[in-house]
Amino acid sequence: MSEKEIMKADLNTKKRFVLVLCCLCILGVIFLIMVNYFSVRAHIGSSAAKVEYFIYVFKMLVIFLFSGFLFFVGALIKKSVLIIRYKQYPIPGEKLLRDTVVVKDRAAINRARLFIGLAVIIFFFSIVFTWICWNFTRMIPSVL
């Protein structure tokens, strides 16, 4: 049985990942506090203002989710192109969060193609999700 090549994890990358995760959580909490603050202010006005506020917040959430999906799809395709170019996963010199077995040649290319297929599926589902949500917001005032 042959010895498998393993790329070691990078401690600084782990620390940076935890820091970014904490910052994203803090931004999420700030967003929720802002939504709650403006929601309380929206209760003071008429019901039409409340509906308009709900539509505004919902549209902002949809745009935020769509942009997040686009960023993820772009990163996945970029990673796939690099895997195909180097014929190795993980890419040489890549900073990893955990120790990872190196996959080379045909198996790495197949994995990159799988990533590209996944990126295309996520892209189309995000477009459909955004379209459905946007049409939902146009339908709300006519229901009320």
Q: Considering the domain boundaries, does residue 3 fall inside one?
A: no
pLDDT digits (tens, 9 = 90+) for 71-96: 999 999 999 999 999 999 999 989 99
Q: Considering the domain boundaries, does residue 40 fall inside one?
A: yes
Nearest to 141 by CA among 33, 56, 65: 56
Nearest to 127 by CA among 73, 86, 81, 88: 73
| Mean pLDDT of the 58-71 span | 91
Q: Considering the domain boundaries, does residue 45 fall inside one?
A: yes
pLDDT value at position 144?
Answer: 57
β-pair type (88-89, 103-104): antiparallel
Q: Which residues contact 102 (CB under 8 A, 6 or more apart)?
A: 4, 5, 6, 7, 88, 89, 90
Q: Residue 49's domain spans which residues?
A: 8-143
Quick one: tokens of 70?
A: 């686009």
Q: Considering the domain boundaries, does residue 111 fall inside one?
A: yes
Confidence of residue 112 (pLDDT cuts 50, 70, 90): very high
This prediction has a pTM of 0.77
pLDDT at 1 over 60: no
Domain count, the chain: 1
Q: Which residues contact 119 (CB under 8 A, 6 or more apart)?
A: 73, 76, 77, 80
Contact predicate 99/7, CB 8 Å: yes
Between the ranges 25-34, 120-129, 134-143, where is the mean pLDDT highest? 120-129
